[in-house]
Amino acid sequence: MKLLAFSIALSIAASRVFAARYSKSADISGPDFYEAFHFENLPDPTHGRVTYVDGPTAQRLNLTYATQDTFILRADYTTYLKPSDPGRKSVRIVSNKQYTTFTAVFDMRHMPEGCGTWPAVWTVGANWPNEGEIDIVEGVNSMMPNIASVHTGSHCQMPSTSRNMTGDASGTNCAAYETDNAGCGVKFVEDVNDPISFGPGFNTHQGGWYALERTNSYLKIWFWSRSDRAVPHEVKFGRTKTIHTESWGVPAAVWTDDLCNFPSHFGPHNIVINLALCGDWAGNYWAYKQSGCPDTCEVFVNTNPATFYAAYFDFAGIRIYT
Ligand SMILES: *[C@@H]1O[C@H](CO)[C@@H](O)[C@H](O)[C@H]1NC(C)=O
Ligand SMILES: *[C@@H]1O[C@H](CO)[C@@H](O)[C@H](O)[C@H]1NC(C)=O
């Protein structure tokens, strides 16, 4: 009996230790993006002034572009649109593989900025919102800082006590349909005079690294700016086969399972990267006006093509660990 109790204790201890260790399963850079992702040329589900094109069109129009160590994804920045035209051409890509417990590191040099832009790097299950959505990088109209959010079906709450994270919780109910789709967000905390996690601030610092860790009992998101001295080596260089997330320090955002059964709220997820313009959040009157943006979002997008020159993602790569 004693021996059994001891070996159970040992295996619990062992599973705790190994819970935060992962092995590299994919290293996606440059042209690999075309193998690892597919293009979704659908009408924007968030009602934006945008037309998502298919893969051949994206490459023909240079809305996606790859070199050995670069993958660019952008909106069209040359076409003047009439109100009756379809929305500005842009791109939405979805990973071919699905993931449950995993860690992903996104090494980004630049993200879309400017009035009307609504870039996002996120993961989502097939049956929304019941299989969950995790927004890693998201924001609108260059408004800083980053806001990471989780959206689920009913009965998934976050504790009202503070979680061990550097960000500020903006809500505790994650249920999409009960929160007007706000979910349970975490606003990153950073120096307002030197923003680094989103939009122009992120770009001025040559971007950085976002990481998501998903287990059956927690979600964690970290962000390190390019010049941050505390970037873990295994994140910065990505050369090691294994990673140890328990040594990465306090995350920007954490979601725990105290009041949310993770396996029943999160299914297998695809990774999605997209650039919407206007729509439910970016084009929303208050969000748009608060950002100091002119006209209405639709008029601005139609008539100012050149401002979308800065509306692009530049990925150095994405690494997946399982
Ligand atoms: C396509 O886009 C890339 C990256 O923005 C740029 O370097 C390249 O010159 C563009 N190619 C053409 C033909 O415009
Ligand atoms: C918060 O997390 C960090 C890093 O994982 C850890 O070192 C620290 O002890 C934790 N603090 C609390 C109060 O749990």
pLDDT digits (tens, 9 = 90+) for 80-93: 999 999 999 999 99
* pLDDT over 50 (residue 259): yes
pLDDT band at 4 (very low <50, low <70, confident <90, very high): very low
Under DSSP, is residue 259 helix (H, G, I), strand (E, B) or coil?
strand
Alpha helices for the chain (secondary structure H): 2-19, 32-36, 55-60, 199-204, 233-236, 262-265, 279-282, 285-290, 297-303
How much is the average pLDDT of 25-48? 96
- Three-state secondary structure of 17-55: HHHCEEEEEEEECCCHHHHHEEECCCECCCCCCEEECCH
Residue 18 Cα, ligand 2 centroid: separation in angstroms?
Answer: 17
* pLDDT over 70 (residue 302): yes
The class level of CATH for 23-321 reads mainly beta
pLDDT band at 49 (very low <50, low <70, confident <90, very high): very high
Among protein residues, the one whose CA lies closest to atom 14 of ligand 2: 164
Sorted by where each begins, the domain ranges of the chain are 23-321
Residue 314 Cα, ligand 2 centroid: separation in angstroms?
Answer: 33
Which residues are tagged catalytic?
A: 133, 138
Residue 66 Cα, ligand 1 centroid: separation in angstroms?
Answer: 9
Q: Which of 220, 221, 245, 250 to mutate to test the pocket of ligand 2 (most atoms within 8 A of CB)?
A: 250
Ligand lying closest to the C-alpha of residue 62: 1
* pLDDT over 70 (residue 66): yes
Residue 255 Cα, ligand 2 centroid: separation in angstroms?
Answer: 14
| Ligand 1 shell residues, CB under 6 Å | 62, 65, 72
pLDDT band at 15 (very low <50, low <70, confident <90, very high): very low
Which range among 9-13, 34-38, 97-101 shows the weakest confidence by mean pLDDT? 9-13
| Ligand 2 shell residues, CB under 6 Å | 164, 249-250
pLDDT-above-90 percentage for the chain: 90
What pLDDT shows up at residue 286?
86
This prediction's pTM: 0.93
* Better-predicted residue by pLDDT, 15 or 249: 249
* pLDDT over 70 (residue 207): yes
How much is the average pLDDT of 148-155? 98
Mean of pLDDT over the chain = 93
pLDDT band at 9 (very low <50, low <70, confident <90, very high): very low
Query: How far, in Å, CA of 69 to CA of 30, rounded?
Result: 5
